[in-house]
Chains A and B, each alone.
Chain A
Amino acid sequence: MIFWEKKPVVFLLLAVAAIMVGTFVTMVLPFAWVNTEKDRIESVKPYTPLQLAGRDIYIREGCNNCHTQTVRPLVAEVLRYGPYSKSGEFVYDRPHLWGSRRTGPDLARVGGKYPDAWHVQHMINPRSMVPRSNMPAYAFLAEYAIDPGYTRKKMDVLGFPYGEEQIQALSGKTDMDAIVAYLQKLGSDIGWREAARTRFAGELKNPYQDDSSIIPQGQALYTEHCAACHGEDLTGDIGPDIHDIDMSDADLYEILFNGIPDGGMPAFSQLGPDRVWKTVNFVKYYKRH
């Protein structure tokens, strides 16, 4: 029998010591590396009152159970979501919301991807915007009002700067306004969308010029990715009417590929050139078909 097998107090002290070594190295020490000056990104700003209220709704509804908020430095991930996440982007996040499961897509860079109206409709009825999605409907968010006084208290606790007019502006706002404001902030502080634009060298040539056989494929792509905003018949809804769009193939391709970041049009570069060209051909030539 070894001594600690009959001395519970000694045993407990030894056990705590064993636990504390790894704890100190991997949990305490990293504080010297993380959220230091070296981590800081100048353009990353604290949440506004409306965004913070939205973030707390995201927490309340447990969105983090299905959506992550970290883009990993892996090829496919950067293609799908945007530049990988940096530590300095999260310095105002208490708690972090990185999540552990992507039942739905990562949201670290969803800010600026869609117009507000898209998010509102998607929250009210997810399947109207994304067919066959399994996301619950959050229409009820539009019925709850934000409490300005409580939000002010939260801002004070977190020490975030705010103006009195920002608090005043909260009256009349709903949970829906707040969560959309929060989503639109996500990942956008580093202004990556403009940098991620593809600039095309030379002349863009439509590989399917006069090839009407790919129109059905283009139509399928249009239905999946475009119809929710531009309507099944291209006459517009959230997005503009495009049924008789007058634009060169190359210009249309560039808009589909890069999107219009300020206009609420998402970039579809992640589909790759081939599928974008097929969509271009459907949008421009379906009537001839």
Chain B
Amino acid sequence: MDAPSYNMTIVRSFIFWSILWGAVAILVGILISFQMVMPELNFPPLFTYGRLRPIHTNAGIFGWAIGSFFATYYYMVQRLCRRPIWSNGLARFQLWFFNATIIAAAVTLLLGYTTSKEYHELEWPIDIMVVILWVVFTINIFMTVVKRREEQMYVSLWFMLASLVGVAVLYLVNAAEVPVSLFKSYSAYAGTNDANVQWWYGHNAVAMVLTFPPLAVFYYFLPKSTGVPIYSHRLSIVAFWSIIFMYLWTGAHHLLWTPVPDWVQTLAMAFSIMLIAPSWGSVVNGYLSMNGQWHQMRENYLVKFLILGITFYGLQTLQGPSQAVRTFSAYIHYTDWVPGHVHMGTLGWVSLVLFAAIYYLVPRIYDRQLYSVPLANLHFWLVLIGQLIYSISMWIAGLQQAGMWHSTGPDGSLSYSFMETLIEMYPYWWARAFSGVIYLLGMVAFIYNLFMTVRRGKTSASTLQNA
């Protein structure tokens, strides 16, 4: 087989930068988690919780997750299409423009230039940078697919292409705003409309950025890691088309009990429940691909990351729909239960799958063996324990605070003042802050392992053949 000259430099560079932004996201996350328990750690005007929290989420979603997806998409698209990237020049431009955008985002958010819309805080000039970035990326991936040398598009390519157009539609619609000055704009939508558009965006950004891309990665890297194909192609087809159809109906489950029209809320609730099926379609497909291969959970650290990752995806897609039911939402919405849920998805599902992909890629790109498998196992356990402490402590905190918020006495009056409910949260918030430190230690093991692989790892002829 003649090996086309794949562009691995761009994959390598995106991996490097995404890990860097991921480390920033975790460090800022730890800082703000300590600010929750020690308000004196706020240093106004720049370093307050209110300004730092969007930096944490933006660095995590746009720096770490999307940066890694740039890397894995560019890798997968070349392998799955059996040809180099359509334009190396565009890809290189994208790398530097990506970093410029992330830096511009961090600086402007710190200065308080924000639209306030969750996961879409960036003001209009940086919105434009994001759009340019995405158009360049989309064209490059799409043209590579169009000019492919493999007739059939593998399931990973479906999820990749769907996420590319999905993000474009979401971002453009939610970004509609009227500029007042260079760093200030007002939304094109008002009040309840603005809220509904925003959560149509916010929820489906979870689909297009934190579900489809990691599924693409999972569908590619699981068979690559185990050496056996995905269990059912037909199940992949059903799961794919049903998830991209159903996801878009569910945004208003973030707005249950608000002034958004009741019928929109009810539709969102119903479709959220239905969404369990296509989500679990992928989970089951992953599990059944392990038939006869479960021993690899012991022997192959990559499989451990991937299978735990898809397991958290499965749990996430059961917990999410349950939160989308009006009665349960009435109880847990606005409490710490929700950050507990979110971090199971980001720290558990998305990051575990990305760790696996990066562990797979780096030794192959550098033609090395991984520096230390035990260290990779340590990384696995640290991030797993850190994430579990985070999520479980926040679920308990959320249930307790919700109970106190809703508790009324025999005469019908409220049992607790707001502050009485907040004070009870401090022990959980301490636990959360330390869980972040544990996760950070795992990240340090990860980075050290990769660094030593590149610097000192043994060269391996076999990895090249397997690549």
Interface residues of A (CB under 8 A from B): 1-2, 5-6, 8-9, 11-12, 15-16, 18-23, 25-27, 30-31, 33-35, 39, 56, 59-66, 68, 70, 72-77, 79-80, 85-87, 89-106, 126-127, 130-140, 150, 153-154, 157-158, 224-225, 269-275
Contact = CB atoms under 8 A, between A and B. Distances in A.
Nearest to A58: B116
A261 to B, nearest CB: 20
Contacts of B246: 22
Given A136-B44, A140-B44, A26 B264 contact: yes
B50 A79 contact: no
A42 to B, nearest CB: 16
Contacts of A91: 190-191
Contact of A22 (B42, B245, B406): B245
A21 B406 contact: no
A34 B49 contact: no
Contacts of A5: 152-153
A198 to B, nearest CB: 11
Contacts of B411: 272-274
Contacts of B237: 2
Given A21-B245, A150-B181, A74 B330 contact: yes
B116 A97 contact: yes
B261 A59 contact: no
Contacts, number: 269
Contact of B192 (A22, A34, A64, A100): A34
Interface stretch (B5-13, B193-201, B459-467): B193-201
Contact of B334 (A22, A90, A102): A102
- Majority SS at the chain A contact face: helix
B405 A80 contact: yes
Contacts of A154: 180, 184, 186
A23 B39 CA distance: 41
Nearest to B45: A140
Contacts of B49: 62, 65-66, 136
B406 A74 contact: yes
Interface stretch (B250-258, B295-303, B307-315): B250-258
A101 B338 contact: yes
A74 B48 CA distance: 32
Nearest to A62: B50
A174 B193 CA distance: 32
Contacts of B385: none
Contacts of A103: 36, 422
Nearest to B178: A157
Contact of B145 (A8, A64, A70, A271): A8
B457 interface: no
A85 B255 CA distance: 12
A8 B146 contact: yes
Given A93-B190, A136-B44, 16 more contacts: A6-B151, A8-B146, A15-B166, A19-B162, A19-B165, A26-B252, A27-B197, A27-B200, A35-B191, A62-B48, A62-B51, A74-B406, A94-B190, A96-B192, A96-B194, A133-B39
